[in-house]
């Protein structure tokens, strides 16, 4: 099937009334999730995952994907109006977005954020359509050593880009790998490290761990703080940016789009890192870097475009290689497997309707978001006025029900609470949880690839360097580990400062 | 001892414990890795990175970098109350059932963290429990526990 026939098939699938409905529900839920601080796309998708069991696979993926990129749109609203990021990828938008709002320019900030997101989202979908099939073809040449090396590169990249010292990020990744080994060994069938808890035979669930590390720990930190928010009170006018705003923003939007897309493709990249890197790049190349943080529209346009471009990019390794680039993609992987579909190089041939239907639905979703978001901003602002003392019990309740309803198991709830406490201390001691989550997701695949590769090579570890693709990937990972040791590249945290 | 020294030391022992437990499974050989191979590898990696972290933190301390206490300026007992109430929820979830347990949980948090008026507490906790019951039990068929109320 050629490219245009495939694309047409995708649009036929996406424009079925039922799929339009699920796309609409997905992006609306995603925006709501993005707006509400403390409830990210991972938590929302895991809450809604059981509801997709009765749907067709393509409708399920369209709904869940809509939540993901919808959250990226919604996250900026809280950053700009409340100075609280509704979603981790919008943290950096607070810096200039909120300052713009305080200067009476909330409208253009919200407007450029929506338009930038639309442009970046559309570009990344085109990229997904063009690169996805090509990568899937190439992936047929991948064996266990290449898969292992690719995942090592992904983990290393995430630790390289994470904030704080690299040893902390690497340590988190190693801990995530350890957690992924809990449960039944796929090769020998031996149950390990389950401590005779039946529910752990299948391993430590991703959803309870993520809800604990991100949702519960966030609430614990918020309740010990002041729990006060200053919501932008004045009327929001002039949502359409003027010509000068466009002139200032078009460069950051295009750079953020390209940067976000390629960082999104890499396992371990993703929306959060893309937005931070985009901000850092804009500040670096700006003629007036000292003005960043005082309300520059470039500081909103770049990161918001980058995080939306990354969402499209993140689908590429999942749909073409079967490797989730981040925790959200891991949930989508889980959803596809539940529906009996194995993402990977053969998916485009075996289930073209799902691949192309999902991609086409993202065009539709991006359009819906553009037309939905700007008129709905008033409603989101009203929603944000719900005081946090009323909001946080509901967030906790969502997390409790979400973790329980996965397997109707109280053990999952206990795991979530435990990881909530662990996540609280991680944040206190400044350990980032993202490398842990990615390692937990990639761990089983890494272990299988490692063991298969060693078996194939009669225990010769040099096989990872002797095979060209694997060698290049591992070499790149090695460079990333060594770079911070060099004085010139001695990294400071990837922070906007 | 600064925070990073303390945490890296803790991680070192966690890594060592993981290695020790992994040894109870078969490590296998390089040509045929066993069940304990990957846990041992990850435990070892944790310990190695922890040692690196300890040295890094020691150098920073010698360089004069200071840091304040972790719990200064925050109302940590509130976080503790929330954590304990989550534990209580998990323990009472089956005996009390979803509706009663959730109502009590929300009401307690609304009263204990930033005390709200009783009418608000009762109204919000009942509304949240009923709404979530209707969505998850009635609509999504989540099979929530019925407990002593039998609903």
Q: What does the mean pLDDT of chain A come to?
A: 83
d(CA B58, CA B41): 26
Contact B21, A193 (CB under 8 A): yes
Concatenated DSSP letters of A425-449? HHHHTT--SHHHHHHHHHHHHHHHH
Q: Tell me the HSE value of A213 on the side-chain side, using a 13 A CA sphere.
A: 22
Question: What pLDDT, in 10s, does the model give residues B31-52?
Answer: 889 999 999 999 999 999 999 9
Which residue in this structure is represented by tokens 């983990």? A155
DSSP B1: -
User: How large is the average pLDDT for residues A385-394?
Assistant: 84
pLDDT in tens, A157-169: 777 766 678 899 8
The closest alpha carbon to A229, from A33, A381, A84, belongs to A84
Which single residue is written with the structure tokens 């770049």? A302
Which chain B residue has the Cα nearest residue A459?
A: B31
Q: What is the pLDDT of residue A417?
A: 95
CA distance A96 to A92: 8
Task: Give chain B's mean pLDDT.
Answer: 90
Residues from chain A that touch B41, judged by Cβ atoms under 8 A, are 177
Which of A215, A386, A401 is the best residue to mutate to test the B interface, defined by the most B CB atoms within 10 Å of its own CB? A401
The fraction of chain A above a pLDDT of 90, given in percent, is 19
Three-state SS string over A23-61 comes to: HHHHHHHHHHHHHCCCCCHHHHHHHHHHHHHHCCHHHHH
Sorted by sequence, the CB contacts under 8 Å of residue B91 that are 6+ apart come out as none
Q: Which chain B positions have a beta carbon within 8 Å of A463's beta carbon? A: none
Residues B92, B86 contacting (CB under 8 angstroms):
no
What is the helix (H) or strand (E) element at residue A192, kind and residue range? strand A191-192
Cβ neighbours for A465, distance < 8 A, ≥ 6 positions apart: A471, A474, A475
A428/B49 Cβ within 8 A: no
Tokens in use for A87? 């979603």
- pLDDT tens, A140-161? 778 899 888 988 887 887 777 6
User: What's the burial of A186, exposed, middle or buried (CB within 10 Å: 0-12/13-18/19+)?
Assistant: exposed
Query: How is residue A319 written in tokens?
Result: 């749909």
Per DSSP bridges, beta strands A191-192 and A183-184 are antiparallel
Q: Given a cut of 50, is residue B29 above it in pLDDT?
A: yes
- Plot region of A242 (φ>0 → left; ψ -120 to 50 → alpha; else → beta): beta
Q: Is A493 a residue whose pLDDT tops 50?
A: no
Query: What is the count of residue pairs from A and B with beta carbons less than 8 Å apart?
Result: 158
Q: Which residue of A has its CA nearest to B4?
A: A429
Query: pLDDT band at A136, cuts 50/70/90?
Result: confident
Beta bridge partners, A184, equal: A191
Kindly state whether A4 is in contact with chain B, defined as any CB-CB distance less than 8 angstroms. no
Q: Among A60-64, A361-365, A470-474, A489-493, which is the least confidently predicted range? A: A489-493
Q: Tell me, what's the pLDDT at A230? A: 57
Q: Residue A185: its chain B contacts at CB < 8 A?
A: 35
pLDDT of residue A401: 86
Burial of A5 (0-12, 13-18, 19+ CB in 10 A): exposed
Mean pLDDT score, A458-485: 88
Which pLDDT band holds residue A426 (cuts at 50, 70, 90)? very high
Using alpha carbons, select from A274, A322, A318 the residue that is nearest to residue A434: A274
Largest Cα span, chain A: 70
Residue of chain A minimizing CA distance to B139: A51
The first and second tokens of residue B82, run together, are 């929330």
Strand ranges, E, within A18-161: none
Residue range A253-298, pLDDT digits in tens = 999 999 888 888 876 667 777 888 888 888 888 888 888 888 899 9
Instruction: State the residue for tokens 């001691």.
Output: A429
Minimum distance, in Å, between the CA of residue A220 and any CA atom of chain B: 5
Give bridge partners of residue B29 from the DSSP assignment. B32
CA–CA gap between residue A418 and residue A212 (Å, rounded):
7
pLDDT category at A496 given cuts 50, 70, 90 is: very low
Q: SS3 of A351, please?
A: coil
List Cα–Cα distances, A187 to A165, A174, B143, in angstroms.
Answer: 35, 21, 34
Percent pLDDT > 70 in chain A is 91
Judge contact between A266 and A477, C-beta under 8 A: no
First CA to last CA distance, chain B: 54
Mean pLDDT, to the nearest integer, of A70-81?
80
Does the CB of A105 have a partner CB in chain B at under 8 Å? no
**Whole-number CA gyration radius for chain A:** 22
Please state the rounded mean pLDDT for residues A234-246. Answer: 77
In whole angstroms, give the CA distance from residue A496 to residue A291.
12
Task: List the structure tokens of A410.
Answer: 């109280």
Identify the sign of the CA torsion A420, A425, A427, A431.
Answer: negative
Confidence bin at A236 (pLDDT 50/70/90): low
Task: Name which residue leads in pLDDT, A61 or A82.
Answer: A61
CB contact under 8 A, A389 and B79: no
Q: Which residue has the higher pLDDT, A68 or A171?
A: A171
Q: Where are the beta strands (DSSP E) in A307-412?
A: none
pLDDT of residue A38 exceeding 60, the answer is no
Question: For residues A64 and A69, what is the distance between their CA atoms, to the nearest angstrom?
Answer: 9
* A39 vs B96 pLDDT, higher one: B96
Enumerate the residues of chain B whose CB falls inside 8 A of the CB of residue A413. 89-90, 93
Closest C-alpha among A365, A388, A312 to residue A132 = A312
Alpha-carbon gap, residue A112 to A184, rounded angstroms: 49
Which has more confidence, A102 or A22? A22
**Residue B132 token pair:** 């979530």
The tokens describing A301, both together, are 């346009």
- Choose among B29, B90, B102: nearest Cβ to A397: B102
* A221/B39 touch (CB, cutoff 8 Å), yes or no: no
Which candidate from A220, A410, A431 shows the least CB-CB separation from B79?
Answer: A220
pLDDT at A485: 72
> Alpha-carbon distance A291 to A295, whole Å?
8
């Amino acid at each position: 099937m050629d490219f245009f026939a495939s694309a047409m098939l995708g649009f036929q699938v996406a424009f079925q009334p039922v799929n339009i409905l699920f796309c609409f529900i997905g992006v609306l839920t995603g925006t709501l999730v993005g707006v509400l601080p403390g409830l990210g796309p991972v938590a929302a998708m895991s809450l809604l995952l059981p509801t997709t069991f009765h749907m067709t696979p393509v409708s399920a993926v369209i709904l869940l994907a809509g939540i993901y990129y919808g959250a990226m749109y919604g996250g900026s609203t809280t950053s700009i109006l409340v100075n609280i990021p509704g979603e981790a990828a919008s943290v950096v938008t607070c810096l200039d977005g909120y300052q713009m709002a305080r200067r009476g320019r909330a409208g253009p900030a919200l407007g450029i954020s929506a338009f930038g997101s639309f442009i970046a989202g559309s570009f990344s979908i085109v990229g997904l359509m063009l690169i996805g099939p090509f990568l899937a073809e190439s992936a047929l040449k991948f064996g266990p050593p290449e898969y292992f090396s690719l995942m090592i590169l992904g983990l290393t990249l995430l630790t390289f880009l994470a904030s704080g010292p690299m040893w902390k990020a690497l340590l988190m990744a190693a801990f995530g790998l350890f957690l992924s080994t809990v449960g039944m060994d796929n090769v020998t069938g031996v149950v390990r490290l389950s401590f005779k808890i039946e529910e752990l035979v299948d391993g430590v669930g991703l959803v309870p761990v993520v809800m604990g590390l991100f949702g519960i720990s966030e609430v614990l930190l918020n309740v010990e703080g002041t729990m006060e928010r200053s919501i932008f009170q004045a009327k929001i006018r002039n949502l359409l940016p003027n010509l000068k705003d466009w002139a200032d923003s078009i460069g950051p939007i295009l750079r953020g789009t390209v940067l976000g897309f390629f960082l999104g493709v890499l396992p371990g990249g993703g929306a959060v890192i893309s937005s931070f890197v985009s901000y850092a790049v804009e500040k670096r190349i700006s003629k007036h870097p000292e003005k960043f943080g005082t309300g520059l529209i470039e500081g909103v346009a770049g990161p918001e475009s980058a995080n939306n471009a990354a969402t499209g990019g993140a689908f590429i390794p999942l749909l073409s290689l079967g490797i989730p680039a981040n925790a959200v993609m891991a949930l989508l992987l889980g959803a596809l497997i539940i529906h009996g579909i194995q993402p990977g190089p053969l998916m485009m041939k075996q289930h073209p309707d799902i691949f192309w239907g999902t991609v086409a639905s993202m065009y539709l979703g991006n359009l819906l978001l553009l037309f939905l978001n700007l008129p709905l901003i008033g409603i989101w602002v009203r929603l944000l006025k719900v005081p946090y003392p009323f909001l946080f019990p509901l967030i906790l309740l969502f997390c409790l029900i979400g973790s329980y309803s996965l397997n109707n198991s109280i053990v999952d709830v206990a795991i979530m609470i435990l990881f909530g406490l662990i996540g609280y201390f991680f944040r206190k001691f400044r350990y980032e949880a993202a490398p842990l989550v990615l390692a937990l997701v990639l761990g089983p695949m890494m272990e299988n690839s490692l063991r298969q590769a060693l078996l194939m090579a009669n225990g010769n570890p040099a096989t990872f360097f002797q095979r060209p693709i694997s060698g290049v990937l591992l070499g790149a990972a090695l460079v990333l580990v060594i770079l911070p040791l060099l004085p010139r590249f001695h990294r400071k945290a990837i922070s906007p400062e | 001892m600064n925070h990073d020294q303390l945490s890296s030391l803790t991680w070192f022992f966690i890594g060592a414990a993981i290695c020790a437990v992994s040894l109870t499974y078969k490590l296998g050989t390089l040509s045929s890795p066993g069940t304990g191979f990957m846990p041992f590898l990850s435990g070892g990696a944790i310990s190695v990175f922890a040692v690196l972290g300890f040295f890094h933190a020691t150098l920073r301390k010698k360089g004069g970098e200071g840091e304040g206490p972790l719990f200064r300026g925050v109302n940590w007992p509130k976080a503790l109350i929330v954590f304990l109430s989550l534990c209580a929820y998990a323990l009472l979830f089956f005996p009390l059932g979803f509706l009663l347990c959730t109502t009590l949980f929300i009401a307690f948090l609304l009263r204990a963290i930033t005390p709200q008026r009783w009418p608000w507490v009762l109204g919000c906790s009942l509304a949240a429990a009923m709404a979530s019951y209707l969505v998850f039990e009635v609509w999504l068929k989540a099979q929530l526990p019925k407990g002593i109320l039998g609903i």
